[in-house]
Amino acid sequence: MKHVIYIPFDHLHRKHGALKGADPKSDLIVFVESARMTTGRNWHKERLFFLISSARHFAKSLEDEGFKVEYLKAATTIDGLKEITKKHGALPIVCAEPSSFRQYESLKKHKVTFVENDFFLTSRSLFKLWADEQKSYLMENFYRKQRLRLNVLMAGKDPIGGSWNFDKENRVPPPKKYEGPAYLEHKRDEIDKEVANELSHVPTNTWATTRKGALAQLKNFIDNHFAEFGPLEDAMTTQNWALHHSLLSPYLNNGLLHPSEVIDAAMKAFETGKIPIESAEGFVRQVIGWREYVNGMYWFLGPEYRSNNQLGANRKLFPLFSDPGATKMNCMKEIGTDIQNRAWVHHIPRLMVLSNLALVTGTNPQEFLDWMREVFIDATEWVMVPNVIGMGVHADGGAMMTKPYAAGGAYISRMSDYCKPCAYNPKLRVGADACPFTTLYWDFLDRHRETFAKNHRMSQQVFGLNRLSDLPELKVRAQEVLKGLEQGII
């Protein structure tokens, strides 16, 4: 053997990363299941099951191809690599650039050689070229540039459909009665059962753990959900846990699918004429826009970015985050239960309910970030740091987003069916029946009135605040709500 190729658990693609051009005659493939990764934190078991079982299946597929594969358990990745050196001698170790600052530094220190991380459509260096030219890092500008560069949904220099953005068409509330196609289930095999046993976990059949299953999930989305994806992408309903979301992010983030494969399949379907432009554009925006932008920003903003707390938010996490029974807020109860069941909810519950609550209550951004990393199936470090610190809780002082995504109960009421059976009323901001979101939204604006008065994109909200006649009463109620959330009784 001439090289060791080390495969992190989010580089599971035969044609990308360090495996591109790998040769069974000269390359020893190494996977390390580190205790740091499996037991180091309070990880959701469904998430661990998915990541470990996917890696073990992938290791097996390389063995079947004729590679010599070492899959070992060790306290840390570096301990595992040291064991490999002891066993096989001091072979050079190669890896694709890892996807977090921490892993990048520790592998670099261990003298691992990196090849470019090509699990994205925009490389880190290409993103930096774009970001260096910007006054503000607007996702929309980045996205349009990628549409042009990658020639996706373009008619020459113009966007197909005559517009870059169909967000207005894509904000339809959930239908009263939703009858969508059933979601794909994935059968469990011996490897899955072995991992489940080790974790003492009963997995759902929601997540595939093989390349074949991930491709089946892609096909299922294209055939059964893509056409209706766009208009309902922001809707939240208790009648169906996923609506028409693709459920592809776990596979994109662990490497079982590459974004180019997903975009190719989506464009092929669009060309048949059966996919409306608002669905096609909404999906492309997520894959070549948001996803690439967030990864680019993670590397561009640097390792210190995750420690930002520019709104001085220091409240501890409320019990409702780990226990959906510790609240009477129906939205939080439903979303918390969904997370416990499948380690997944779509982007709007994450942004407009969970992050919104952390934002308006002044919850510590790093505590909230850690929790988000632990509970979601697709929550890699590069995804969650910009999404939480920049977008979710505005802890970066607006470096990424020009204004905070704070909202009262009216938004949640319009976009979901959570509010009708709730103990609270989204229209009320004071009194025992007032929706906690509505009360805390105004309290949040008031606490940061001076900061937001300087932001022209917040002027309308601050103007609204100045017209509230019941602000003193609202401030008293806000304190009651915060105390009740701490006690798990609101």
Contact residues toward ligand SF4 (CB under 6 A) are: 329-331, 409, 412-413, 418-419, 422, 424, 426, 435-437
Nearer to ligand SF4 (CB atom), residue 80 or residue 392: 392
* Tokens describing residue 249: 């992010």
Cβ proximity to ligand SF4: between 265 and 435 the closer is 435
Quote the least distance from Cβ 375 to ligand SF4, whole Å.
Answer: 19
Instruction: For ligand SF4, give the closer residue by CB, 158 or 433.
Output: 433
Half-sphere exposure of 210 (CA within 13 A, CB side): 15
- Biggest alpha carbon distance in the chain? 77
* Shortest spacing between CB 409 and ligand SF4, in angstroms: 4
Least separation in angstroms between residue 307's CB and ligand SF4 is: 31
Residues 407 and 395: their CA atoms lie apart, in Å, by 16
How far is it, in rounded angstroms, from Cα 67 to Cα 60? 9
Determine contact, residues 52/195, Cβ cutoff 8 Å: yes
Cβ proximity to ligand SF4: between 81 and 331 the closer is 331
- Which residue, 406 or 419, has its beta carbon nearer to ligand SF4? 419
Alpha-carbon torsion 252, 284, 120, 65, what sign? positive
Minimum CB separation from ligand SF4 for residue 450, in Å? 27
Q: What are the start-end ranges of the H helices in 207-271? A: 211-224, 226-229, 249-254, 259-271
CA distance readout (Å), 158 to 145, 151, 161, 163: 12, 10, 9, 8
204: left (phi over 0), alpha (psi -120 to 50) or beta: beta
Nearer Cβ to ligand SF4 (81/440): 440
d(CA 316, CA 305): 20
Q: Which of 50, 130, 55, 66 is nearest to 295 (CA)?
A: 130
Nearer to ligand SF4 by Cβ, of 288 and 422: the residue is 422
Cα 166 to Cα 160: distance, rounded to the nearest angstrom: 11
- Smaller CB separation from ligand SF4, 243 or 383: 243
How many C-beta atoms surround the C-beta of residue 348 within 10 A? 21
Nearest distance in Å: CB 332, ligand SF4: 7
Give whichever of 334 and 396 is closer to ligand SF4, judged by the CB atom: 334
CB of 181 to ligand SF4, least distance (A): 27
Question: Alpha-carbon torsion 279, 281, 283, 285, what sign?
Answer: negative
**Torsion, Cα of 351, 355, 360, 365 (10° steps):** -140
Task: Find the shortest distance in angstroms from Cβ 378 to ligand SF4.
Answer: 24
Minimal distance in Å, beta carbon 320 to ligand SF4? 11
Q: Which is nearer to ligand SF4, 121 or 329 (CB)?
A: 329
Task: For residue 10, give Cα distances in angstroms to 16, 32, 305, 349, 431.
Answer: 11, 12, 22, 25, 48
The distance of closest approach from Cβ of residue 428 to ligand SF4 in the complex, given in angstroms and rounded to an integer, is 9
| 400: its two tokens | 């990424």
Residue 36: partners with Cβ closer than 8 Å, 6 or more residues away: 75, 76, 77
**Is-contact 481 315, C-beta < 8 A?**
no
Report the distance separating Cα 363 and Cα 302, nearest Å.
Answer: 23
- The one-letter amino acid code at 116 reads E
Q: Shortest Cβ distance from residue 94 to ligand SF4 (Å)?
A: 50
Q: Which CB, 252 or 481, lies closer to ligand SF4?
A: 481
Residue nearer to ligand SF4 on the CB measure, 288 or 419: 419
Roughly how many angstroms between the first and final C-alpha of the chain, as a whole number? 62
Report the C-alpha gap between 16 and 94 in whole angstroms: 13
**Least distance between ligand SF4 and beta carbon 322 (Å):** 18
Smallest gap, in angstroms, from Cβ of residue 240 to ligand SF4?
17
